[in-house]
Homo-oligomer: A and B are copies of this chain.
Amino acid sequence: MSERGIRFRRTILFQGEPGAYSEEAALALFPGSETVGHTTFTRVFDELCESERAVAVLPVENSLAGIVQEVNDLLWERRGLRVGTEHVHPIRHCLLAAAEGPVHRAISHPQALAQCRRHLEAKGIEPVPFHDTAGAARHLSENSEPGLAAIASAAAAERYGLRVLAAGIQDDPSNRTRFLVVSQGIPERPRTAQDGWKASLAFLAAHRPGSLVAALTALSSRGVNLMRLDSRPLRDRPFEYLFYLDFVIDDPDRAEAALVELEEQAAEVRLFGSYPTEE
C-alpha cells in the first residue's frame, strides 16, 4: 500500500459486537475497512473526539422503533464533529447455523426474536433470548450444539463462519435503519447545488410563545422543506427544548440565508452537516 493509501486509511467505529447491524452498515459504506466496535455510544463519541482519523457509523432512526435518542443527544453535546454522509440500511434478519440438521431453538436479542415471530412460529423454532444479535452468532460459533441457530445479520454469518439458512425472515420487510457517518471536522454549510442534499441540525428554543414558530419561519419564508422535526426536553432546564431538524437543500443560497436567520432567532444552533440524501 502506498504512503498515501496508509495516510488516508481510517478506522471505522460502531456501537456493538463484531457482526452487529451497525458494522454491516459500516462495511456497506466503507468496504474492506478496519472496523472497531464499542459497547456504548458514549465510548464511540469519546474515541471520535480523541482521534482525527476515526470515523463512526451511527444509527439515528429506525423505521419501526423510532429515534435513537442517545445518538442524537450525543451529537448535540459533543463539539468539533461533523456529519458527512447518511446511509439507510435494510435490517434483514438471517437464521444462522453452525452445522447441518433441523433447527429447534434460535438465540438472539428479544427485539429481533419478536420481529421474526411469525417465521419462528411457522417453523416451530423456540425463541431464546440473548444479549444482542451479533453476540448470539458468536456464541453459536463457539458453542455449537445440535438444533441451535442464531438470528443475526449476514455480516455476522460471514464474520463467525456460520451458514445462512434463511435471509430476510423478519415479519415486516420495511424494517430499516438510518445511519450517519460522523467524524471530526467543521460541518459543511448548505452550499451544494446538487439534487437531493439535506442538512441536519439542532437548535435550542426558549419556552416562550412564538419562539419555535419564529425559528421555523426563518426556514419556511425561504422555501426550505423540513424532512424531520423532533423536540426533546432538556433534562436540567425545565421548559426548554431542543429541536432536531433535517431539511432539504433545494437552493443553496436560500438555505444558507435561512440558516443564518435561524441562528439569529434561536437561542443556540448547531449544524451537524450537509450531505447527499439517500432516501
Spell out A's residues near B (CB within 8 Å). Answer: 63-70, 109-110, 113, 127, 129-132, 174, 207-210, 212-213, 216-217, 219-221, 223-231, 233, 235, 241, 243
Contacts and interface: CB of A to CB of B under 8 A. Distances in A.
Contacts of A68: 66
A223 B235 contact: no
A230 B72 CA distance: 14
A69 B66 contact: yes
Given A67-B67, A69-B66, A110 B132 contact: yes
In the complex, the count of this chain's copies comes to 2
28 contacts: A63-B235, A66-B66, A66-B69, A67-B69, A109-B110, A110-B129, A110-B130, A113-B131, A127-B131, A129-B129, A129-B131, A174-B235, A212-B216, A212-B220, A212-B226, A213-B213, A213-B216, A213-B219, A213-B220, A216-B216, A226-B231, A226-B241, A227-B231, A227-B233, A228-B233, A229-B230, A229-B243, A230-B231
A209 B229 contact: no
Given A64-B69, A210-B220, A217-B217, 8 more contacts: A63-B235, A66-B66, A66-B69, A110-B132, A209-B223, A210-B221, A227-B231, A229-B231
